[in-house]
Amino acid sequence: MRVFGIETSCDETAVAIYEGTDTGEGRILAEQISSQVNVHAQFGGIVPEIASREHLAVLPGMVESVMQATKLCWPDIDAIAVTAGPGLMGALLVGTSFARATGLVNCIPLIPVHHLEGHLLAAGLEEELPAFPFITLLVSGGHTMLIRVEAIGCYRILGQSLDDAAGECFDKTARLIGLGYPGGPAIEKLARGGDPDQFTLPRPLLCRDDVNFSFSGLKTAVMHTVKKLAAQKENRDWKRNLAASFQEAVADVLTNKAIRACHQQKISHLIIAGGVAANSRIRESLQAAARDRGLNIVIPAPRYCTDNAAMIAYAGFQRKRLGMPEIRIWDARARWPLGQQEAL
Ligand code: KG4
Ligand code: ZN
């Protein structure tokens, strides 16, 4: 079975073709990602209307290009999986409209995919997914969640951020330090060689026994520190040390809560997903903690942590393979709680 995946929910236009068997194994035949980072960087963040226009400008050519690279034609494709939400409405509409038109003209069924389901299954792209149930820590620009995955399509949210998402906190902190957009990779780069113990920053909600998160206090602590130090032009290292201290605080919180969720649920398989999981210090911290406690941890390659279409094609493939109920009435949706796909 071959599934064509399309992702346009935010600022990456991505397409991919996944080929898999009835038993669930498979591989990516071709994929392409076009990032809009340079277009939005001059505005210091994503401008939704520009994002939609950029998707529209590049998507048709990218689809054509992966079809040519694989020498496949539309009759060789069994389904088109497209991100239907959550995300920027205009951006989503470009992908879903393109998918609908292509499906209609070529008589190919569509599979609307929840963007977060794509992220949380991305670990299955390169190796077999662990046995169910497993715990997924999903850390992206808009979400920070710990999820108990009972089966594909069966998700129980154990905890989530009560305010800012981890990625959002990286982006806002980067702005405070004077770094550009996107903030996560910029902080990681600056933090290299910095001293993570130079500043004592809070680890919010660590003392609480639940697995919820809160990052706004950490961001405020960074803001106060920046205000105090901004005048110290002679000491250039403070920014590097602050970036490293901030990254360490986020790594500590994510690691501690993910391990706690596994412990509380008595589950030994942990998957990490979402853009923030591309951060090498956070990956290291989670891997070391999992190793110490005998947990099996899977973190996708960094390019499958950030937005991509391979994960959307893969989620669509799994849904089709398992004969999951089709979502009959659907449209792009900016808000779409995880776990409510079938209820639409
Ligand atoms: O999953 P993603 O690509 O898009 C969403 O679905 O939101 O995540 C984007 C978020 C952004 O906040 C970005 O700053 C963060 O992931 N991010 C990182 C890194 N790469 C991306 N955060 C920390 N370190 C990174 N290397
Ligand atoms: Zn994403």
Report pLDDT digits (tens) over 206-233: 989 999 999 999 999 999 999 988 777 6
Question: For residue range 131-152, what is the model confidence (pLDDT) as tens digits?
Answer: 999 999 999 999 999 999 999 9
User: Cβ contacts of residue 84 below 8 Å, gap of 6+?
Assistant: 92, 96, 112, 113, 114, 330, 331, 332, 333, 336
Q: Report CA-CA distances (Å) from 245 to 144, 223, 248, 303.
A: 20, 13, 5, 25
Query: What pLDDT, on the 0 to 100 scale, is given for residue 297?
Result: 98
If you average pLDDT over residues 54-78, what whole number do you get? 98
**Is the Cβ atom of 122 under 6 angstroms away from ligand 1?**
no
If you average pLDDT over residues 159-165, what whole number do you get? 97
Residue 234 has pLDDT above 70, yes or no: no
Q: What is the mean pLDDT of the chain?
A: 94
Closest C-alpha among 67, 77, 66, 84 to residue 8: 84
At residue 298, what are phi and psi to the nearest 5 degrees?
Answer: -125, 125
DSSP 277: G
Q: Is 83 left (phi over 0), alpha (psi -120 to 50) or beta?
A: beta
Query: What pLDDT, on the 0 to 100 scale, is given for residue 233?
Result: 64
> Strand 2-7 relative to strand 79-85: parallel, antiparallel, unpaired?
parallel
DSSP 151: E
* 266 Cα–ligand 1 center, Å: 29
Mutating to test ligand 1, I would choose from 8, 33, 136, 306 the residue with most ligand atoms within 8 A of its C-beta, which is 306
Query: What pLDDT, on the 0 to 100 scale, is given for residue 229?
Result: 86
If you average pLDDT over residues 171-177, what whole number do you get? 95
* 58 Cα–ligand 2 center, Å: 19
Structure confidence at residue 328 as a pLDDT band (50, 70, 90): low
Determine the Cα–Cα distance for residues 306 and 315; give it in Å rounded to an integer: 15
Q: Report CA-CA distances (Å) from 240 to 51, 224, 277.
A: 31, 16, 21
> Strand 296-298 relative to strand 269-273: parallel, antiparallel, unpaired?
parallel
User: What is the helix (H) or strand (E) element at residue 316, kind and residue range?
Assistant: helix 310-321
Query: What pLDDT, on the 0 to 100 scale, is given for residue 327?
Result: 66
Structure confidence at residue 344 as a pLDDT band (50, 70, 90): very low
**Whether the predicted model's global pTM rises above the 0.85 cut:** yes
* 312 Cα–ligand 2 center, Å: 10
Determine the Cα–Cα distance for residues 201 and 299; give it in Å rounded to an integer: 26
Mutating to test ligand 1, I would choose from 136, 170, 247 the residue with most ligand atoms within 8 A of its C-beta, which is 170
Torsion of CA 149, 126, 277, 275, to 10 degrees: -90
Q: 207 or 3: which carries more pLDDT confidence?
A: 3
Determine the Cα–Cα distance for residues 173 and 221; give it in Å rounded to an integer: 10
Positive or negative, the CA dihedral 181, 183, 189, 193 is positive
User: What is the helix (H) or strand (E) element at residue 56, kind and residue range?
Assistant: helix 48-70
Closest C-alpha among 139, 173, 141 to residue 159: 139
- 178 three-class SS: coil
User: What is the helix (H) or strand (E) element at residue 50, kind and residue range?
Assistant: helix 48-70
Question: For residue range 5-22, what is the model confidence (pLDDT) as tens digits?
Answer: 999 999 999 999 999 999
Query: What pLDDT, on the 0 to 100 scale, is given for residue 184?
Result: 97
Residue 319 has pLDDT above 60, yes or no: yes
Q: Which residues surround ligand 2, an ion (CB under 5 A)?
A: 140, 307
If you average pLDDT over residues 227-252, what whole number do you get? 88
DSSP 111-150: EEEEHHHHHHHGGGGTSPPPSSSEEEEEE-SS-EEEEEEE
Q: Are 15 and 6 in contact (CB under 8 A)?
A: yes
Residue type, 144: T
User: What is the helix (H) or strand (E) element at residue 319, kind and residue range?
Assistant: helix 310-321
**Is the Cβ atom of 171 under 6 angstroms away from ligand 1?**
yes
**Is the Cβ atom of 277 under 6 angstroms away from ligand 1?**
no
Query: What pLDDT, on the 0 to 100 scale, is given for residue 169?
Result: 96
* 151 Cα–ligand 2 center, Å: 21
